[in-house]
């Protein structure tokens, strides 16, 4: 089993923004208020136990975005809890792009996915439009050691045990535990490639015109957001470090 020292752990935000230039061609504008709250306390934080940032943005000239958040929480020089989230505004039915990246010396625990905001059994056209474009990437990256071990592909066996979280996943989630250092970088590459697909879909997205469809979409979207904001065990850790109010802000930005 590989062990990666804290200093050698993936520089998540830097890798995505600088090395992979995910947002090249987009101008990110800081999102100063979210859900009526000042987001600035999240932009940079430092406590005896944790340092880091959760930076929320909008995209200049694009009214289709609710938020783009990228962040890292470094915990006692032992672990990094990183995330990138891209959520479309309520007039658009794009899936939620989410990556949770928890890195410790022996492994990362990661989930990267387009979480559908509609029931894809009832709306197969939604799956075809927004999720099936991930098919090639999913097949390419599902073989990363950790996602697949000795011919057993564990992607359906989410590392987190919570049924509500599994319910939010698409058929193309990349989800599991990965150990080796070079494989962690491959997962990051997969995350960036998924994000690029999402940004391309964003360009083509049209506002929803059917009010019943929109109501259905918002119901599911709100349920997902509520689950992650209220139930994600990471939220409990944040509460201990930052207190209830700040923790709620941070979790809302991450999901």
Partner 1 sequence: MGGSREWTPYRDRMKEVLDQMGMRELGEWKGKDIRKAGEFSRGTVRGGLRAYTAEKAEKIALGDFTINGELHYGLCTIIPGEEYDLPIFISRWEERESEIGILVDIMPAVDSLIDEEYRKKYLESVEPLWNRFANLPGICPEEDDVLRALCSIVYTAARVPIENPGMRLAALAPHTEYLKAYLAFFKDAAPIGGEIKKRETKRKREAIRKILSARYREILQGPLGVSLKSDIAELIPHIFF
- Chain-centre distance for alpha carbon 199: 14
**CA separation for the pair 39, 221 (Å, rounded):** 21
129 binds partner 1 (CB under 8 A): no
C-beta closer to partner 1: residue 46 or 219? 219
Instruction: Retrieve residue 20's tokens.
Output: 């992979």
Helix segments in the chain, DSSP class H:
12-14, 40-43, 124-126, 135-141, 163-167, 181-204, 211-231, 233-242, 244-254
164 binds partner 1 (CB under 8 A): yes
Binding mask 194-223 for partner 1 (x = CB under 8 A): -------------------------xx--x
122 binds partner 1 (CB under 8 A): yes
C-beta closer to partner 1: residue 36 or 121? 121
C-beta closer to partner 1: residue 1 or 122? 122
Bridge partners, 55 (sequence order): 70
131 binds partner 1 (CB under 8 A): yes
As a three-state string, the secondary structure of 58-74 is EECCCCCEEEEEEEEEE
Q: Which of 11, 166, 181, 246 binds partner 1 (CB under 8 A)?
A: 166
Report CA dihedral (59, 62, 63, 69) to the nearest 10 degrees: -20
> 230: closest CA among 158, 156, 165, 139?
165
**CA separation for the pair 136, 110 (Å, rounded):** 19
112 binds partner 1 (CB under 8 A): no
Task: Write down the least CB distance from residue 222 to partner 1, Å.
Answer: 10
Residue with tokens 């979280």: 165
Instruction: Retrieve residue 204's tokens.
Output: 């083509």
Binding mask 12-51 for partner 1 (x = CB under 8 A): ----------------------------------------
Q: Which of 1, 7, 61, 151 binds partner 1 (CB under 8 A)?
A: 151
H or E element that contains 85? strand 79-88
145 binds partner 1 (CB under 8 A): no
Stretch that binds partner 1, among 86-94, 98-106, 119-127, 238-246 (CB under 8 A): 119-127
**Which residues contact partner 1 by CB under 8 A?**
119-122, 124, 127, 131-132, 135, 142, 151-157, 163-164, 166-168, 170-171, 219-220, 223-224
């Amino acid at each position: 089993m590989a062990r990666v020292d804290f200093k050698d752990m993936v520089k998540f935000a830097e890798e995505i923004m600088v090395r992979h230039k995910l947002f090249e061609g987009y101008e990110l504008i800081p999102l100063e208020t979210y859900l009526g709250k000042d987001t600035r306390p999240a932009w940079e934080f430092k406590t005896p136990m944790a340092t880091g940032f959760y930076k929320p943005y909008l995209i200049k000239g694009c009214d289709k975005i609710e938020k783009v958040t990228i962040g890292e929480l470094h915990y006692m020089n032992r672990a990094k809890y990183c995330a990138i989230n891209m959520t479309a505004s309520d007039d658009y039915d794009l899936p939620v792009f989410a990556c949770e990246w928890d890195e410790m010396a022996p492994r990362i625990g990661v989930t990267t996915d387009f979480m559908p905001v509609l029931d894809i059994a009832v709306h197969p056209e939604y799956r075809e439009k927004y999720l099936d474009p991930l098919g090639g990437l999913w097949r390419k990256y599902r073989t990363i050691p950790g996602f697949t071990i000795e011919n057993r592909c564990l992607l359906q066996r989410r590392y987190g045990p919570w049924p509500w979280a599994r319910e939010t996943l698409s058929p193309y989630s990349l989800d599991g535990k990965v150990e080796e250092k070079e494989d962690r970088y491959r997962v990051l590459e997969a995350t960036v490639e998924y994000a690029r697909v999402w940004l391309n879909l964003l360009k083509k997205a049209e506002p929803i015109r059917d009010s019943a469809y929109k109501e259905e979409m918002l119901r599911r979207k709100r349920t997902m957001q509520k689950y992650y904001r209220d139930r994600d065990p990471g939220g409990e850790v944040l509460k201990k470090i930052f207190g209830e109010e700040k923790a709620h802000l941070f979790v809302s930005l991450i999901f």
